[in-house]
């Protein structure tokens, strides 16, 4: 009995500690996961089977996911993963759970396309390709999900396997250039894909003039600068297939995907807060207009959160800076929905902005971003609303009693961090500080 009580005590301490841990995600965890290639079926002497695998890294939240499949021409592609043939597969993954969707070899010819998974919290994914020859397992290789990019690089031979996919809904063309081992471009071709279309090929099929012993690299870019390409390559040599590193650019990154990731992480953080109901369910709609040059964010009459792509580009090297700006807009949604001018600062009922900053800081902390992204974002906005004229002084189009990006607001951020630490679970900021700022002075709140 005493032993059981002791055990319960240990378990409750562990449970408590778990809640105190900041939510950090694996690099590969995303809310938009693009799989540039999938294949199923074929004749018995050469079948392909695809398994799409997901793990939910959150110990507390269920992931709600939708997997959409598109064929070579960009049309919805119906595949059977064991529970019927559909082009869209909705499913959920329990906290810390895993799910496998394995295609069922339903077609006598090889069916190919691309897949996109959209989740409401970050999840980790992988696709496995299994080659089956007369019922015997041949080879299996895996590919991580990827993100659209403005340039894809891969080492290449003439037999290189390439999957190319169009992530936009309209027809796009892509330039494939082969570069030899001394760095000289030796062949190039243009490949046009329908909206959401897909094309898988061996390099020599599209570049027939490449010598048989070609050894170099390929670069794939969208024909129109600013567009994005989705690609994946596999090494093929003497009929052996092996995986290659993902060749998308590290930076610049796909802003719509990054904004979506930040937005969903913050919403997940909002629903995991204890003691503060921000009324953010059902979630507001996120809109990311690309035709607005000014860097601004706003909450419109439909209670949409609008994050202009130019704003994301202004803070493009820092997800934590973007997180503070998106969280600030979510805080204004919360103020509107709760009918309170200020939710956490009742004695400062006219200062919606200070209240939104504090709520944003709590969300940023809870979602595992760096809270020092806040002064970074305000500093960049301060620069951008000066003589450069990139952004107006009330960047979120709300009445603002104070100069929006004053030095005073920036200097107040350390106090906002200190205050935010009193709203999250006890011990959370200490754990966060130990993880991300272990060399900060002891006096720093985080």
Within residues 342-361, the interface with Zn ion by CB under 5 A covers 353, 356
Q: Cβ of residue 297: shortest distance to Zn ion, in angstroms?
A: 8
Q: Cβ of residue 328: shortest distance to Zn ion, in angstroms?
A: 5
Q: Are 254 and 185 in contact (CB under 8 A)?
A: no
Using the contact rule CB under 5 A, the part of the chain among 160-168, 221-229, 245-253, 398-406 near Zn ion is 398-406
Q: Cβ of residue 383: shortest distance to Zn ion, in angstroms?
A: 18
Give the number of residues written for the chain: 446
Our CB check for Zn ion shows the closer of 68 and 304 to be 304
State how far the alpha carbon of 163 is from the alpha carbons of 36, 160, 176, in Å: 6, 10, 12
DSSP code string of 47-105: EEEEEEEEE---SS--EEEEEEEEETTSSB--EESSS-EESEEEEEE-TT-EEEEE---
Our CB check for Zn ion shows the closer of 154 and 385 to be 385
Q: Cβ of residue 387: shortest distance to Zn ion, in angstroms?
A: 23
Q: Cβ of residue 303: shortest distance to Zn ion, in angstroms?
A: 14
Our CB check for Zn ion shows the closer of 65 and 331 to be 331
- Both structure tokens of 222: 């969208």
Site string for Zn ion, 309-348 (x = CB under 5 A): ----------------------------------------
Q: Cβ of residue 393: shortest distance to Zn ion, in angstroms?
A: 11
Q: Are 242 and 234 in contact (CB under 8 A)?
A: yes
Give Rg (Cα) of the chain: 25
Our CB check for Zn ion shows the closer of 311 and 356 to be 356
All residues at 6 or more sequence positions from 33 whose CB lies less than 8 Å from its CB, including other chains: 116, 117, 118, 119, 123, 125, 145
What are residue 68's phi and psi, to 5 degrees? -110, 135
All residues at 6 or more sequence positions from 238 whose CB lies less than 8 Å from its CB, including other chains: none
Our CB check for Zn ion shows the closer of 126 and 397 to be 397
State how far the alpha carbon of 222 is from the alpha carbons of 37, 145, 157, 316, 436, in Å: 18, 19, 21, 21, 37
Q: 3-class DSSP state for residue 38?
A: strand
Q: 3-class DSSP state for residue 406?
A: coil
Q: 3-class DSSP state for residue 336?
A: helix
Task: Using CB positions, name the residue nearest to Zn ion.
Answer: 396
Our CB check for Zn ion shows the closer of 370 and 396 to be 396
Our CB check for Zn ion shows the closer of 105 and 294 to be 294
* Residues near Zn ion (CB under 5 A), total: 4
Q: Cβ of residue 357: shortest distance to Zn ion, in angstroms?
A: 8
Q: Cβ of residue 356: shortest distance to Zn ion, in angstroms?
A: 5
Q: Cβ of residue 352: shortest distance to Zn ion, in angstroms?
A: 7
Our CB check for Zn ion shows the closer of 187 and 322 to be 322
Using the contact rule CB under 5 A, the part of the chain among 50-58, 92-100, 132-140, 390-398 near Zn ion is 390-398
Q: Are 360 and 419 in contact (CB under 8 A)?
A: no
Using the contact rule CB under 5 A, the part of the chain among 299-307, 316-324, 388-396, 416-424 near Zn ion is 388-396
In the list 80, 112, 396, 432, the residue contacting Zn ion (rule: CB under 5 A) is 396
DSSP code string of 165-192: E--SSS-EEEEEEEEETTS-EEEEEEEE
Our CB check for Zn ion shows the closer of 37 and 352 to be 352
Q: Which residues bind Zn ion (CB under 5 A)?
A: 353, 356, 396, 398
């Amino acid at each position: 009995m005493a032993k059981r009580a002791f055990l319960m005590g240990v378990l409750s301490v562990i449970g408590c500690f778990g809640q105190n841990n900041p939510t950090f995600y694996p690099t590969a965890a995303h809310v938009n996961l693009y799989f540039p290639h999938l294949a199923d079926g074929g004749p018995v002497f050469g079948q392909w089977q695809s398994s799409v695998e997901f793990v939910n890294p959150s110990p507390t939240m269920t992931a709600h996911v939708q997997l959409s499949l598109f064929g070579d021409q960009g049309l919805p592609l119906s595949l059977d993963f064991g529970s019927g043939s559909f082009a869209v597969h909705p499913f959920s993954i329990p906290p810390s759970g895993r799910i496998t969707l394995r295609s069922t070899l339903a077609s006598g010819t090889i069916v190919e396309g691309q897949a996109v998974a959209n989740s409401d919290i970050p999840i980790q994914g992988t696709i496995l390709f299994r080659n089956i020859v007369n019922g015997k397992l041949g080879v299996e290789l895996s590919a991580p999900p990827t993100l659209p990019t403005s340039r894809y690089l891969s080492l290449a031979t003439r037999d290189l396997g390439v999957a190319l996919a169009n992530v936009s809904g309209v027809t796009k063309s892509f330039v494939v250039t082969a570069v030899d081992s001394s760095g000289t471009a030796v062949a190039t071709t243009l490949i046009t894909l329908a909206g959401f279309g897909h094309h898988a090929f061996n390099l020599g099929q599209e570049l027939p003039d490449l010598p048989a012993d070609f050894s170099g690299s390929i670069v794939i870019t969208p024909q129109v600068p600013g567009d994005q390409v989705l690609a994946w390559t596999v090494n093929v040599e003497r009929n052996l297939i092996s995986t290659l590193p993902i060749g998308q650019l590290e930076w610049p990154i796909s802003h719509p995907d990054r904004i979506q990731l930040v937005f969903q992480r913050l919403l997940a953080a909002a629903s995991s807060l204890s003691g503060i109901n921000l009324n953010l369910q059902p979630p507001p709609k996120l809109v990311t207009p690309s035709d607005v040059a000014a860097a601004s964010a706003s909450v419109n009459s439909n209670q949409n959160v609008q994050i202009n792509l130019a704003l994301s580009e202004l803070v493009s090297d820092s997800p934590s800076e973007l997180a503070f700006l998106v969280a600030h807009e979510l805080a204004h949604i919360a103020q509107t929905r709760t009918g309170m001018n200020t939710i956490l600062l009742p004695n400062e009922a006219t200062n919606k902005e200070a209240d939104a900053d504090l709520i944003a800081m709590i969300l940023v902390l809870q979602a595992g971003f760096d809270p020092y992204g806040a002064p970074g974002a305000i500093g960049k906005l301060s620069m951008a609303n000066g003589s450069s004229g990139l952004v107006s002084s009330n960047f979120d189009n709300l009445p603002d009693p104070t100069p929006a990006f004053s030095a005073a607001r920036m200097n107040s951020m350390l106090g906002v961090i200190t205050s935010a630490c009193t709203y999250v679970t006890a011990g959370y900021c200490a754990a966060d500080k130990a993880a991300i700022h272990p060399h900060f002075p002891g006096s720093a709140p985080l």
